[in-house]
Amino acid sequence: MKTFGELLTDYMARTGTSDSELARTLGVRRQTIFRWKEGLVERPRRREDVLLCATKLRLSPEERDELLLAAGFAPLSANPETASRSAEPVQPTSIAVADSIAEPQTMVVPQTQVVESSQSTTIDIVPVRAPRRTQSANITWLAIVVVAVLLIGGLVAMFAFRADADFPTAAPGEQLIVIAQFGSTQPNPTPDAPSRKVSGDNVAPSDDFVSRLQAAVEREVRAERFDNVRVVTWRAQIHDANSAESFCQRANASIVIWGDASDNKITATLTIAPIVARADDMPLDALIVAPSNTPLTISAASPDEIQTLALLTLSQLYLAQGDYGIARASLTQALSHPLEDQESLAMLNLHMGYALQIAKPPELGDAIQFYSQTLALAPENATAHFNRGVAYVRLNDAAKWQADFARVLAVKPDDFNARLALCWANALDQKPDVALPHCDAVVSRDSSARSREARAIVYAEMGKFAEATADSQAFIDWLGHQPASLRTRYGTSRADWLQSLQAGRNPIDATVLGKLRQE
């Protein structure tokens, strides 16, 4: 059975309904529709949203019920099976009772098998008084147990409902920023952010910092006149990156800020939702990795460093809207007050490099400069090496991208993104024999079929047109379920490739490779 996201993607493609159009119908953000389709959020929380989708997409009753089931709700067309059971009639049996029993008495008669016989059978029935006290006691205890279970269940349900009602959730069209409580436990390390031991045993008070950070973020939001942004605090601590990502998805939040506190130092980590503006990225742009779960260690007593964290948060709101220039300005202001912690300063440079690289048009020279500054402070930062390597692929500097991707694999062996980048880079350099093992490794792990475009190019360069045709067709099928803007940018040229491959011709020449490098 297909997932909710797969079914929704199929039905939207069939009716030609765009993400924006369906979002307006449901009263949600376009980002929400994108998350449903991509599986970033498994399904809608309300059954009514699924029914609105079915109406908008003109689904048949069977398709509507299939969509409801995929979303975890009961279908409308219920067909309960009714089974009637007929009991066999019980034949009366004559029992001869001994003459010695002259008068009827109140008694309990155990169930007895009746054995057929041609002779009359006499059964002695011994009168037994019913244990009324025991039955009454059992009934009393049973009633007590039932009442206790109901009371406990009611309390659990009440607390669960109250906890769910208090959970922050973004309203339709709203960007939500959640600041969790900061505890004394260090967050789990990530490849880009190794664990750092903070000296001292005294834990800084979290509540005061959270309130001051909330005020700083709200101040920046008001100054930029973000009417659709809400900043809230969450009463509990988030302990690791996986929990933060789950929280972000459940709340439909744009940013979740969490971390730990020690010795008047705060290690704050930003978990950032995927940027919808990147949904129509072309091949090389789609490779670029967004920095997320990157910690900044700041002084809880420094207003300047708290503002730096607030400005970094603000820059992510602008990136989500595709306002790359203003995002760069916010990051420039954040970098104007250098942080004392060198790894935190490296993270700010990493965010700046990323903002410059995904800008339209990209500012590759400046992006490379900030990635290099990141690596000067944090030499093993895999994201900086990888994104800089992608920039070098665009600039056709083979020696440099080879060095950067090799460093990524040294830190994270068999990294999916590095393998995909090596597949593309060697294909663009017309080295199909070098590219193919990387392409095969990626395709075997990629459920989206997007990576098969690069392998189709490699097969075409090798003259394996049947294999290239199969991969190209799979990619075009995947493309049919993507946003209209991406289909418009890709569709015609990739369809032309497929026709050439089916005719036994290689459509990948130097001109095509040059365009691919600049897309």
Type and span of the H or E element at 258: strand 255-262
- What's the rounded Cα separation, in Å, for the pair 20 and 30? 5
| β-pair type (255-262, 175-181) | parallel
Q: Which residues contact 431 (CB under 8 A, 6 or more apart)?
A: none
pLDDT band at 346; cut points 50, 70, 90: very high
Which is higher by pLDDT, 511 or 29?
511
Poorest-confidence range of 132-141, 157-166, 437-446, 487-496?
157-166
Sign of CA dihedral 183, 188, 193, 195: positive
Sign of CA dihedral 65, 69, 74, 78: positive
Type and span of the H or E element at 266: strand 265-272
pLDDT band at 291; cut points 50, 70, 90: very high
- Tokens for 424? 């593309």
- The answer to whether residue 161 scores a pLDDT higher than 80 is no
- The answer to whether residue 330 scores a pLDDT higher than 80 is yes
- What's the rounded Cα separation, in Å, for the pair 351 and 371? 9
> What is the three-class DSSP state of 337?
coil
pLDDT band at 137; cut points 50, 70, 90: low
- The answer to whether residue 119 scores a pLDDT higher than 60 is no
Q: Tens digit of pLDDT for each residue in 53-103?
A: 988 888 888 889 888 888 888 888 754 443 333 334 444 444 343 344 334
What percent of the chain is predicted at pLDDT more than 90?
A: 47
DSSP string, 40-71: SS-S-S-HHHHHHHHHHTT--HHHHHHHHHHT
- The answer to whether residue 419 scores a pLDDT higher than 60 is yes
Reported pTM:
0.66
Report the pLDDT value the prediction gives residue 103, as an integer from 0 to 100.
Answer: 44
Mean pLDDT, residues 202-225 taken together: 80
Q: CB–CB of 54/12 below 8 Å?
A: no
Which is higher by pLDDT, 193 or 247?
247
> What is the three-class DSSP state of 271?
strand
- What's the rounded Cα separation, in Å, for the pair 442 and 452? 9
Mean pLDDT over the full length of the chain: 82
Exposure class string for 474-493: b at 16+ Cβ within 10 A, else e? bbbebbebbbbeebebbeee
pLDDT band at 206; cut points 50, 70, 90: low
Sign of CA dihedral 44, 48, 49, 50: positive
- The answer to whether residue 280 scores a pLDDT higher than 90 is no
Q: Tens digit of pLDDT for each residue in 439-486?
A: 999 999 998 889 999 999 999 999 999 999 999 999 999 999 888 888
Q: CB–CB of 39/46 below 8 Å?
A: no
- Tokens for 431? 């080295």
Report the pLDDT value the prediction gives residue 352, as an integer from 0 to 100.
Answer: 98
- What's the rounded Cα separation, in Å, for the pair 105 and 127? 7
Q: What is the architecture, at CATH level 2, of domain 4-70?
A: Orthogonal Bundle (1.10)
> What is the three-class DSSP state of 95?
coil
- What's the rounded Cα separation, in Å, for the pair 160 and 220? 35
- The answer to whether residue 438 scores a pLDDT higher than 90 is yes
Poorest-confidence range of 139-143, 315-319, 380-384?
139-143
Q: Tens digit of pLDDT for each residue in 348-407?
A: 999 999 999 999 899 999 999 999 999 999 999 999 999 999 999 999 999 999 999 999
Report the pLDDT value the prediction gives residue 101, as an integer from 0 to 100.
Answer: 38
Which is higher by pLDDT, 492 or 160?
492
Q: Tens digit of pLDDT for each residue in 9-41?
A: 888 888 878 877 788 788 777 778 877 887 766
